[in-house]
Amino acid sequence: MFTGIITDRGLVRGVERAADARYIFETAYDPDAIALGASISCSGACLTVVDKGPGWFAADVSAETLSKTTLGDWQAGTPVNFERALRLGEELGGHIVSGHVDGVAIARSRDEEGGSIRLTFGAPKALMRFIAPKGSVVLDGVSLTVNSISDTGQTEGGFAVNIVPHTARVTTLGACRPGTRVNLEIDMLARYVQRLLATE
């Protein structure tokens, strides 16, 4: 479990591709504090540490994950948001995040609003029923509050979020532009409410 509060912004050092892929990430995390087998959210995707060294760790990525996320687009130099798994007793600053990406959202617009940035995203229609104004979403691992939705069209809907200056500085979302693809995770509570309603 995670909270959607990014604690390091690193990058992809290298990619080894086969049937699946192994990603090597540069990070400011202390390798001595990371156990092999630990979970780290990498721009929203929960990955397992399989190797590590000073300033880096490696994780294997399945073909399924590559097909459902933006990770298949990543290459050496791609910036990545990192968050280590939540520990009992730590502050829950965002919301409960699983690290299981539901789909990919695409940035439609970027507008300055005071000191903040308003980003509008298109999302798969099947996921829009889980997104509500003032609800929570995760974009590239960042916990955000939905400002508004525009649930129109047969295949795609849209929603808007505001990025405050701190978030823009310390995460990859500050560089988001129209056309940028981001990993989207819907609110876990919305997922289970929908499931309960569907079975009644």
Does residue 76 sit in the same domain as residue 114?
Answer: no
**Average pLDDT of span 5-11:** 97
**What residues make up the domain containing 190?**
103-199
Does residue 53 sit in the same domain as residue 124?
Answer: no
Question: Residue 71 has what DSSP assignment?
Answer: G
Does residue 74 sit in the same domain as residue 107?
Answer: no
pTM over 0.95: no
Domain end call among 33, 49, 84: 84
Does residue 78 sit in the same domain as residue 134?
Answer: no
Does residue 46 sit in the same domain as residue 122?
Answer: no
The Cα 129–Cα 28 span in angstroms is 37
Percent of the chain whose pLDDT exceeds 70? 89
Predicted local confidence at residue 156, as pLDDT = 72
Tell whether 97 is covered by a domain.
no
Question: Which of 34, 37, 180, 160 is CA-nearest to residue 107?
Answer: 180
Does residue 80 sit in the same domain as residue 111?
Answer: no
The Cα 62–Cα 182 span in angstroms is 18
Does residue 79 sit in the same domain as residue 125?
Answer: no
What CATH number is given to the structural domain containing 38? 2.40.30.20
Predicted local confidence at residue 95, as pLDDT = 74
Does residue 191 sit in the same domain as residue 115?
Answer: yes
Does residue 187 sit in the same domain as residue 128?
Answer: yes
The Cα 122–Cα 179 span in angstroms is 10
Tell whether 21 is covered by a domain.
yes
Question: Residue 102 has what DSSP assignment?
Answer: -
Overall number of domains in the chain: 2
Percent of the chain whose pLDDT exceeds 90? 76
Does residue 124 sit in the same domain as residue 156?
Answer: yes
Predicted local confidence at residue 96, as pLDDT = 79
The residues, ordered by sequence, that sit 6+ positions from 88 with a Cβ below 8 Å of its Cβ are none
In this predicted structure, the answer to whether residue 153 has a pLDDT above a threshold of 70 is: no
Does residue 62 sit in the same domain as residue 15?
Answer: yes
Amino acid (1-letter code) at residue 39: S
Does residue 152 sit in the same domain as residue 180?
Answer: yes
Q: Which residues, listed in sequence order, are joined to residue 30 by a DSSP beta bridge?
A: none
The Cα 33–Cα 157 span in angstroms is 41
